[in-house]
Protein backbone atom coordinates (compact mmCIF):
# COMPACT_ATOMS: atom_id res chain seq x y z
CA UNK A 1 0.00 0.00 0.00
CA UNK A 2 2.69 2.39 1.09
CA UNK A 3 4.82 1.37 -1.87
CA UNK A 4 2.01 2.17 -4.29
CA UNK A 5 1.63 5.60 -2.80
CA UNK A 6 5.33 6.25 -3.12
CA UNK A 7 5.21 5.22 -6.77
CA UNK A 8 2.29 7.50 -7.42
CA UNK A 9 4.13 10.40 -5.84
CA UNK A 10 7.22 9.68 -7.89
CA UNK A 11 5.03 9.65 -10.96
CA UNK A 12 3.63 13.04 -10.10
CA UNK A 13 7.04 14.45 -9.38
CA UNK A 14 8.36 13.34 -12.72
CA UNK A 15 5.31 14.67 -14.52
CA UNK A 16 5.82 18.00 -12.81
CA UNK A 17 9.45 18.13 -13.83
CA UNK A 18 8.53 17.36 -17.41
CA UNK A 19 5.92 20.08 -17.55
CA UNK A 20 8.29 22.61 -16.00
CA UNK A 21 10.98 21.82 -18.56
CA UNK A 22 8.54 22.15 -21.45
CA UNK A 23 7.05 25.39 -20.20
CA UNK A 24 10.49 26.83 -19.54
CA UNK A 25 11.51 26.22 -23.16
CA UNK A 26 8.27 27.68 -24.45
CA UNK A 27 8.59 30.81 -22.30
CA UNK A 28 12.12 31.51 -23.51
CA UNK A 29 11.00 31.07 -27.12
CA UNK A 30 7.96 33.30 -26.64
CA UNK A 31 10.02 36.03 -24.95
CA UNK A 32 12.59 35.89 -27.72
CA UNK A 33 10.09 36.02 -30.54
CA UNK A 34 7.94 38.75 -29.03
CA UNK A 35 11.03 40.83 -28.34
CA UNK A 36 12.14 40.50 -31.96
CA UNK A 37 8.62 41.23 -33.23
CA UNK A 38 8.27 44.25 -30.92
CA UNK A 39 11.53 45.71 -32.15
CA UNK A 40 11.39 44.84 -35.79
CA UNK A 41 7.79 44.61 -36.90
CA UNK A 42 7.41 48.36 -37.52
CA UNK A 43 10.51 48.41 -39.65
CA UNK A 44 9.30 45.53 -41.77
CA UNK A 45 7.89 46.85 -45.04
CA UNK A 46 7.93 46.06 -48.71
CA UNK A 47 10.65 48.70 -49.24
CA UNK A 48 12.77 46.97 -46.61
CA UNK A 49 12.43 43.61 -48.32
CA UNK A 50 13.19 44.83 -51.84
CA UNK A 51 15.62 47.58 -50.78
CA UNK A 52 19.32 47.45 -51.63
CA UNK A 53 21.86 47.87 -48.85
CA UNK A 54 22.72 51.38 -47.73
CA UNK A 55 24.89 52.99 -45.09
CA UNK A 56 21.84 54.88 -43.88
CA UNK A 57 19.81 52.61 -41.68
CA UNK A 58 16.52 54.10 -42.83
CA UNK A 59 17.21 53.32 -46.48
CA UNK A 60 18.86 49.96 -46.07
CA UNK A 61 17.03 46.88 -47.32
CA UNK A 62 17.66 43.15 -47.28
CA UNK A 63 17.07 42.39 -50.94
CA UNK A 64 20.63 41.24 -51.70
CA UNK A 65 20.73 39.23 -48.48
CA UNK A 66 17.60 37.16 -48.96
CA UNK A 67 18.27 36.66 -52.65
CA UNK A 68 21.69 35.40 -51.57
CA UNK A 69 20.08 33.13 -48.99
CA UNK A 70 17.72 31.79 -51.64
CA UNK A 71 20.60 31.11 -54.03
CA UNK A 72 22.59 29.37 -51.35
CA UNK A 73 19.55 27.35 -50.31
CA UNK A 74 18.82 26.11 -53.83
CA UNK A 75 22.44 25.34 -54.70
CA UNK A 76 23.05 23.60 -51.38
CA UNK A 77 20.00 21.43 -51.97
CA UNK A 78 21.11 20.59 -55.49
CA UNK A 79 24.56 19.55 -54.27
CA UNK A 80 23.78 17.84 -50.98
CA UNK A 81 20.55 16.03 -51.87
CA UNK A 82 21.88 13.59 -54.50
CA UNK A 83 25.20 13.04 -52.75
CA UNK A 84 23.71 12.61 -49.28
CA UNK A 85 20.82 10.39 -50.31
CA UNK A 86 23.12 8.37 -52.58
CA UNK A 87 25.60 7.82 -49.77
CA UNK A 88 22.79 6.88 -47.40
CA UNK A 89 21.40 4.32 -49.84
CA UNK A 90 24.85 2.87 -50.42
CA UNK A 91 25.65 2.50 -46.74
CA UNK A 92 22.28 1.01 -45.91
CA UNK A 93 21.62 -1.21 -48.90
CA UNK A 94 24.88 -2.05 -50.63
CA UNK A 95 27.68 -1.59 -48.14
CA UNK A 96 28.72 -4.88 -46.62
CA UNK A 97 30.06 -4.94 -43.11
CA UNK A 98 33.70 -4.40 -43.96
CA UNK A 99 36.31 -2.51 -41.99
CA UNK A 100 36.24 0.31 -44.55
CA UNK A 101 32.49 0.73 -44.21
CA UNK A 102 32.63 0.72 -40.42
CA UNK A 103 35.31 3.39 -40.64
CA UNK A 104 33.13 5.41 -43.02
CA UNK A 105 30.14 5.13 -40.73
CA UNK A 106 32.04 6.26 -37.65
CA UNK A 107 33.50 9.16 -39.60
CA UNK A 108 30.15 10.32 -40.90
CA UNK A 109 28.64 10.29 -37.45
CA UNK A 110 31.61 12.19 -36.09
CA UNK A 111 31.44 14.75 -38.88
CA UNK A 112 27.99 15.76 -37.73
CA UNK A 113 29.62 17.02 -34.52
CA UNK A 114 32.42 19.08 -36.07
CA UNK A 115 32.02 22.83 -35.40
CA UNK A 116 30.78 24.66 -38.46
CA UNK A 117 33.69 27.08 -38.53
CA UNK A 118 36.02 24.16 -39.24
CA UNK A 119 33.95 23.41 -42.32
CA UNK A 120 34.38 27.05 -43.24
CA UNK A 121 38.17 26.71 -43.08
CA UNK A 122 38.00 23.53 -45.16
CA UNK A 123 35.77 25.27 -47.70
CA UNK A 124 38.13 28.24 -47.85
CA UNK A 125 41.09 26.04 -48.68
CA UNK A 126 39.42 23.50 -50.96
CA UNK A 127 36.67 25.39 -52.78
CA UNK A 128 37.81 29.01 -52.68
CA UNK A 129 41.55 28.53 -53.16
CA UNK A 130 42.35 25.14 -54.67
CA UNK A 131 39.26 24.88 -56.88
CA UNK A 132 39.39 28.61 -57.49
CA UNK A 133 35.70 29.26 -57.00
CA UNK A 134 36.46 32.56 -55.28
CA UNK A 135 34.10 34.10 -52.74
CA UNK A 136 31.17 32.85 -54.77
CA UNK A 137 27.77 31.43 -54.00
CA UNK A 138 29.00 28.11 -55.38
CA UNK A 139 31.85 28.00 -52.86
CA UNK A 140 29.43 28.89 -50.04
CA UNK A 141 26.87 26.30 -51.10
CA UNK A 142 29.56 23.64 -51.45
CA UNK A 143 30.82 24.39 -47.95
CA UNK A 144 27.33 24.28 -46.46
CA UNK A 145 26.68 21.04 -48.34
CA UNK A 146 29.65 19.48 -46.59
CA UNK A 147 28.27 20.73 -43.31
CA UNK A 148 24.85 19.15 -43.72
CA UNK A 149 25.81 16.00 -45.61
CA UNK A 150 26.25 13.96 -42.41
CA UNK A 151 22.77 14.96 -41.26
CA UNK A 152 21.25 14.01 -44.62
CA UNK A 153 23.10 10.70 -44.74
CA UNK A 154 22.07 9.73 -41.23
CA UNK A 155 18.42 10.67 -41.74
CA UNK A 156 18.31 8.89 -45.11
CA UNK A 157 19.58 5.73 -43.45
CA UNK A 158 17.05 6.06 -40.65
CA UNK A 159 14.22 6.47 -43.17
CA UNK A 160 15.36 3.47 -45.20
CA UNK A 161 15.71 1.37 -42.09
CA UNK A 162 12.11 2.17 -41.20
CA UNK A 163 10.89 0.35 -44.31
CA UNK A 164 10.02 -3.21 -43.23
CA UNK A 165 12.52 -5.82 -44.32
CA UNK A 166 9.63 -7.98 -45.51
CA UNK A 167 8.86 -5.50 -48.31
CA UNK A 168 12.42 -5.69 -49.52
CA UNK A 169 12.35 -9.49 -49.39
CA UNK A 170 9.05 -9.63 -51.27
CA UNK A 171 10.49 -7.56 -54.08
CA UNK A 172 13.75 -9.51 -54.32
CA UNK A 173 11.90 -12.83 -54.20
CA UNK A 174 9.88 -11.76 -57.25
CA UNK A 175 13.05 -11.44 -59.26
CA UNK A 176 13.70 -7.73 -58.83
CA UNK A 177 17.30 -6.57 -58.80
CA UNK A 178 18.64 -4.61 -55.87
CA UNK A 179 18.31 -1.34 -57.70
CA UNK A 180 14.75 -2.14 -58.85
CA UNK A 181 13.87 -2.93 -55.26
CA UNK A 182 15.37 0.33 -54.04
CA UNK A 183 13.79 2.41 -56.78
CA UNK A 184 10.29 1.01 -56.81
CA UNK A 185 9.81 -0.09 -53.19
CA UNK A 186 12.30 1.29 -50.70
CA UNK A 187 12.62 4.86 -51.98
CA UNK A 188 8.88 5.50 -52.44
CA UNK A 189 8.21 4.14 -48.97
CA UNK A 190 10.97 6.12 -47.29
CA UNK A 191 10.86 9.30 -49.35
CA UNK A 192 8.79 11.24 -46.86
CA UNK A 193 11.31 10.52 -44.15
CA UNK A 194 14.25 11.31 -46.39
CA UNK A 195 12.69 14.59 -47.47
CA UNK A 196 11.99 15.57 -43.88
CA UNK A 197 15.64 15.03 -43.01
CA UNK A 198 16.85 16.95 -46.02
CA UNK A 199 14.59 19.92 -45.33
CA UNK A 200 15.61 20.12 -41.68
CA UNK A 201 19.25 19.97 -42.76
CA UNK A 202 18.67 22.74 -45.32
CA UNK A 203 16.99 24.93 -42.74
CA UNK A 204 20.05 24.50 -40.58
CA UNK A 205 22.27 25.49 -43.50
CA UNK A 206 20.17 28.60 -44.12
CA UNK A 207 20.84 29.78 -40.59
CA UNK A 208 24.60 29.24 -40.69
CA UNK A 209 26.91 32.26 -40.51
CA UNK A 210 30.36 31.22 -39.41
CA UNK A 211 31.48 29.06 -42.33
CA UNK A 212 30.27 31.64 -44.84
CA UNK A 213 32.15 34.45 -43.12
CA UNK A 214 35.31 32.34 -43.23
CA UNK A 215 35.03 31.65 -46.95
CA UNK A 216 34.57 35.36 -47.54
CA UNK A 217 30.90 36.08 -48.06
CA UNK A 218 30.62 39.83 -47.80
CA UNK A 219 28.44 41.90 -45.56
CA UNK A 220 28.12 44.56 -48.21
CA UNK A 221 27.15 43.45 -51.69
CA UNK A 222 25.82 46.32 -53.79
CA UNK A 223 23.70 44.22 -56.14
CA UNK A 224 21.80 40.98 -55.90
CA UNK A 225 23.70 37.97 -57.33
CA UNK A 226 22.56 36.75 -60.73
CA UNK A 227 24.62 33.55 -61.07
CA UNK A 228 26.32 30.94 -58.93
CA UNK A 229 29.75 32.50 -59.37
CA UNK A 230 28.75 35.95 -58.10
CA UNK A 231 29.79 37.36 -54.76
CA UNK A 232 27.04 37.25 -52.22
CA UNK A 233 25.81 37.81 -48.73
CA UNK A 234 23.14 35.97 -46.78
CA UNK A 235 20.61 37.03 -44.17
CA UNK A 236 22.50 35.80 -41.10
CA UNK A 237 25.62 37.72 -42.16
CA UNK A 238 23.58 40.82 -42.83
CA UNK A 239 22.02 40.49 -39.39
CA UNK A 240 25.38 39.90 -37.75
CA UNK A 241 26.76 42.95 -39.50
CA UNK A 242 23.87 45.17 -38.41
CA UNK A 243 23.90 44.18 -34.76
CA UNK A 244 27.61 45.02 -34.53
CA UNK A 245 26.92 48.63 -35.56
CA UNK A 246 26.67 51.19 -32.76
CA UNK A 247 23.61 52.99 -34.15
CA UNK A 248 20.31 51.88 -32.68
CA UNK A 249 18.52 52.09 -36.06
CA UNK A 250 20.64 49.28 -37.43
CA UNK A 251 19.73 47.07 -34.49
CA UNK A 252 16.09 47.59 -35.41
CA UNK A 253 16.95 46.67 -39.00
CA UNK A 254 18.53 43.51 -37.66
CA UNK A 255 15.37 42.65 -35.75
CA UNK A 256 13.30 43.07 -38.90
CA UNK A 257 15.73 40.88 -40.85
CA UNK A 258 15.54 38.25 -38.11
CA UNK A 259 11.79 38.13 -38.60
CA UNK A 260 12.32 37.38 -42.30
CA UNK A 261 14.95 34.72 -41.54
CA UNK A 262 12.70 33.12 -38.93
CA UNK A 263 9.84 33.13 -41.39
CA UNK A 264 11.98 31.27 -43.93
CA UNK A 265 13.15 28.62 -41.47
CA UNK A 266 9.71 28.18 -39.91
CA UNK A 267 8.32 27.73 -43.40
CA UNK A 268 10.87 25.03 -44.18
CA UNK A 269 10.17 23.28 -40.89
CA UNK A 270 6.46 23.52 -41.60
CA UNK A 271 6.93 21.80 -44.94
CA UNK A 272 8.95 19.07 -43.23
CA UNK A 273 6.24 18.47 -40.64
CA UNK A 274 3.57 18.42 -43.35
CA UNK A 275 5.50 15.91 -45.44
CA UNK A 276 6.03 13.65 -42.49
CA UNK A 277 2.33 13.81 -41.71
CA UNK A 278 1.32 13.07 -45.30
CA UNK A 279 3.75 10.19 -45.51
CA UNK A 280 2.60 8.58 -42.29
CA UNK A 281 -0.98 8.88 -43.37
CA UNK A 282 -0.36 7.27 -46.72
CA UNK A 283 1.59 4.26 -45.55
CA UNK A 284 0.69 2.22 -42.54
CA UNK A 285 2.33 -1.15 -42.24
Q: Distance between CA 207 and CA 198 in Å, rounded? A: 14
Among 67-75, 114-122, 150-158, 178-186, the segment contacting another protein (CB under 8 A): 178-186
Site membership for another protein, residue 282 (CB under 8 A): yes
C-alpha distances in angstroms, 235 versus 51, 71, 197, 254? 13, 12, 23, 9
Residue whose CB is less far from another protein, 46 or 285: 285
* The CA-based dihedral angle spanning residues 129, 213, 117, 226, taken in that order and rounded to the nearest 10 degrees: -70
Chain residues 101-160 in contact with another protein, contact rule CB under 8 A: none
Q: Distance between CA 57 and CA 250 in Å, rounded? A: 5
Q: Are 185 and 173 in contact (CB under 8 A)?
A: no
Exactly one of 82, 112, 169, 220 binds another protein (CB under 8 A); that residue is 169
Exactly one of 3, 5, 97, 99 binds another protein (CB under 8 A); that residue is 97
- Beta-bridged to residue 136, according to DSSP, are 231
Q: How far is the CB of 174 from another protein (least distance, A)?
A: 4
| Nearest residue to 123 via CA among 109, 137, 144 | 144
Exactly one of 77, 171, 209, 233 binds another protein (CB under 8 A); that residue is 171
Chain residues 186-205 in contact with another protein, contact rule CB under 8 A: 188-189
Q: How far is the CB of 112 from another protein (least distance, A)?
A: 26
Number of chain residues interacting with another protein (CB under 8 A): 22
Residue whose CB is less far from another protein, 5 or 284: 284
Compute φ and ψ for 13, nearest 5 degrees. Answer: -60, -45
Exactly one of 19, 26, 29, 170 binds another protein (CB under 8 A); that residue is 170
Site membership for another protein, residue 248 (CB under 8 A): no
Q: b or e along 55-85 (b: 16 or more beta carbons within 10 Å of the residue's beta carbon)?
A: eebeebbbbbbbbbbbbbbebbbebbbeebb
Q: How far is the CB of 102 from another protein (least distance, A)?
A: 13
Exactly one of 2, 4, 166, 226 binds another protein (CB under 8 A); that residue is 166
Site membership for another protein, residue 100 (CB under 8 A): no
Exactly one of 102, 177, 247, 280 binds another protein (CB under 8 A); that residue is 177
| Nearest residue to 42 via CA among 235, 261, 249 | 249
Site residues, another protein (CB under 8 A): 97, 164, 166-167, 169-177, 180, 184-185, 188-189, 282-285
Amino acid sequence: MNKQRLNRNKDKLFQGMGITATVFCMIILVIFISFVLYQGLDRLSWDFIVGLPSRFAGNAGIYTAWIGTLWVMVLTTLISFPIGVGAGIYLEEYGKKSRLNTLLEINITNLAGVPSIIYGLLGLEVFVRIMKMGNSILAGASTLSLLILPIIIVSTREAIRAVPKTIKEASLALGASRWQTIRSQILPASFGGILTGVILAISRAVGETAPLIVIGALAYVPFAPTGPLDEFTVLPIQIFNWVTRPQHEFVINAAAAIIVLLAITFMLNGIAVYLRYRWQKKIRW
